C-alpha cells in the first residue's frame, strides 16, 4: 500500500481509494465472475480496509454497479480519444467497426456481461443495472453516430446503427467462449461494405437536390 501523508488532501485520498476499489472490482468480475466476487476479496485486492470500503459501498451490488459505471465512463473517454486518430477515407467505416468490436470483446464488456446476467435473476440488482445499461447504450449509440457521420433523420439509418451495435454485442458474447478473431474480422469486413451501401446520405436522393 502506498503511504499517505497529511499533505495529500482528504478529497484526493478518497478519490484514489474509490478508484482502487472500483478497478479491483472489475478485475474480480473479469477473473472470477459475479458469483466469485465478494466485498472481502475486493477490499483485500484494492488494499483498502473493510471499514473504508463499507463506508463507500455498503453492499456488493453498490460496488459492482459503481464499478461497471466507472469503467464504462473511463472507456467511453478512451473511445472518443481513439476516434480522433481513425483514418479518413475508404477504410474509415471498417476502422470504426474494429474499434467497436475491440470495446465489446474487452475486459469492460466481460465485467458488464457478468453484471447483466446476474441481474437477470436478481431483482434488486436489475433495478440498478437497467438504467445503467440504458445510459451506456445511449452513449455508445451517440458515439457511433458521430464516428460514422450518420444522419439519423433519414429513414432506416437509426436502425442500422442499432443493428451494428447489436452485432458487435453478439460478437462480444461469442468471443467469451472461443477466440474467434479471424471469423470476427471477416464478418466486420463484409458488414462494413454493406453498411456503407445501406446508410442513406443527405445527398443521395435521385436527382432531386432541393
Q: Give the DSSP letter string of 50-116.
A: HHHHHHH--SHHHHHHHHHHHHHHHHHHHHHHHHHT---GGGHHHHHHHHHHHHHTSHHHHHHHHHH
Shortest reach from residue 15's CB to a copy of itself, in Å = 30
Please tell me the distance from the alpha carbon of residue 182 to that of residue 194, in angstroms, as a whole number.
19
Shortest reach from residue 130's CB to a copy of itself, in Å = 6
CA 189 to chain CA centroid, Å, is 22
Shortest reach from residue 97's CB to a copy of itself, in Å = 11
Residue closer to a copy of itself, measured from CB, 16 or 145: 145
* Contact residues for a copy of itself, defined by CB under 8 A: 31-36, 110, 113-114, 116-122, 126, 129-130, 133-134, 137, 156, 159-160, 162-163, 165-174, 176-178, 183, 186-187, 189-191, 193-194, 197-198
Shortest reach from residue 20's CB to a copy of itself, in Å = 22
Shortest reach from residue 111's CB to a copy of itself, in Å = 11
170's CB contacts (< 8 A; 6+ apart) are none
Residue closer to a copy of itself, measured from CB, 56 or 169: 169
132's CB contacts (< 8 A; 6+ apart) are 65, 68, 69
Residue closer to a copy of itself, measured from CB, 17 or 132: 132
Amino acid at each position: 500500500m502506498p503511504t499517505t501523508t497529511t499533505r495529500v488532501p482528504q478529497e484526493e485520498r478518497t478519490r484514489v481509494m474509490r478508484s482502487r476499489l472500483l478497478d479491483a472490482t472489475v478485475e474480480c468480475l473479469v477473473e472470477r465472475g459475479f458469483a466469485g466476487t465478494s466485498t472481502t476479496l475486493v477490499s483485500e485486492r484494492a488494499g483498502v480496509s473493510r471499514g473504508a470500503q463499507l463506508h463507500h459501498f455498503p453492499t456488493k451490488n453498490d460496488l459492482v454497479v459503481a464499478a461497471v459505471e466507472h469503467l464504462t465512463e473511463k472507456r467511453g473517454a478512451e473511445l472518443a480519444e481513439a476516434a480522433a486518430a481513425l483514418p479518413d477515407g475508404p477504410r474509415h467505416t471498417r476502422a470504426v467497426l474494429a474499434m467497436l468490436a475491440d470495446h465489446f470483446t474487452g475486459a469492460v464488456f466481460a465485467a458488464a456481461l457478468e453484471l447483466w446476467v446476474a441481474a437477470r435473476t436478481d431483482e434488486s440488482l436489475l433495478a440498478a443495472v437497467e438504467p445503467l445499461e440504458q445510459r451506456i447504450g445511449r452513449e455508445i449509440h451517440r458515439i457511433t453516430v458521430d464516428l460514422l457521420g450518420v444522419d439519423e433523420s433519414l429513414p432506416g439509418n437509426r436502425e442500422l446503427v442499432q443493428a451494428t451495435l447489436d452485432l458487435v454485442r453478439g460478437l462480444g458474447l461469442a468471443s467469451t467462449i472461443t477466440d474467434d478473431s479471424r471469423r470476427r474480422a471477416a464478418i466486420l469486413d463484409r458488414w462494413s461494405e454493406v453498411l456503407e451501401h445501406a446508410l442513406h446520405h443527405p445527398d443521395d436522393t435521385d436527382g432531386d437536390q432541393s
